[in-house]
Amino acid sequence: MEIKLLYYLIPSLIMFCCGVYGFLTRKNMIAILISLELMLNSIDINFVVFNRYLYPDGHEGMFFSLFAIAIAAAETALAIAIIINLYRATKNIDVRDTNKLKG
């Protein structure tokens, strides 16, 4: 059986939406970070699939997803560092308690 373009795109979109849902509902910052990672990875799938099925002559989509993986790693590392800093200051990484700035 041949696997069509759509069979890749729909799961990747579902994955993205799960990421958005998790980002909006999760209370633990690490879980939020995992949701963000889910969103970024689904974009990589999109790029690779478009490249493979629609434009197989070039490699632009592949290269973009390689760079996107590297960028996602950098983002996660920085976010973890900031979360650890917050944990050291307050012993708590729940977003519900991180609400002193408002007005």
Partner 1 sequence: MDYSQFLAMKQEIALLGVFLLVFLYDLFMPKNSQRGLSGFTIAMFAIFTVSCFCPVFISGQEVAFGGMYVTNPVMLTIKNILNVGVLIVLIQASRWANSEMQIIRRGEFYSLMLVTLFGMYLMISARHFLLFVIGLECASLPLAAMVAFEKNHYESHEAAIKYILTAVFSSAIFMLGLSFVYGLAGSLYFDSVYFALTGADATDPMLIVALAFVMAGVGFKLSLVPFHLWTADVYQGAPTSVTSYLSVISKGSAAFAFMVILTQVFGCVYSQVWEWMLYALIILTITVGNLFALRQHNMKRFLAFSSISQAGYIMLGIIGCNAMGMASLMFYILVYIFSNLAAFGVIQAIENQTGKVDMTDYRGLYKSNPHLSVVMMLAMFSLAGIPPFAGFFSKFFIFTGALSGTESTALYVLVLIALINTIISLFYYLLVVKAMFLSSEEPVIAPFRSACSERVGMWITVAGILALGLVSCFYNQILILCQTWGLPSLA
Positions in the binding site for partner 1 (CB under 8 A): 16, 19, 23, 29, 32-33, 36, 39-40, 42-43, 46-47, 50-51, 54-55, 58, 60-61, 63-64, 67-68, 71, 74-75, 78-79, 81-83, 85-86, 89-90, 98-103
The phi and psi torsions of 28 (rounded to 5 degrees) equal -90, 135
Rg (the chain; Cα; Å): 17
Could you tell me the smallest distance in angstroms from the CB atom of residue 13 to partner 1? Answer: 9
Neighbours of 69 (CB within 10 A): 13
Among candidate residues 21, 18, 2, the one with its CA nearest the CA of residue 10? 18
Q: Which is nearer to partner 1, 25 or 29 (CB)?
A: 29
Complex with partner 1: residue 1 or 24, whichever CB lies closer: 24
* Residue 55 CB-density burial (10 A; 0-12 exposed, 13-18 middle, 19+ buried): exposed
Of 1 and 58, the one with the shorter C-beta distance to partner 1 is: 58
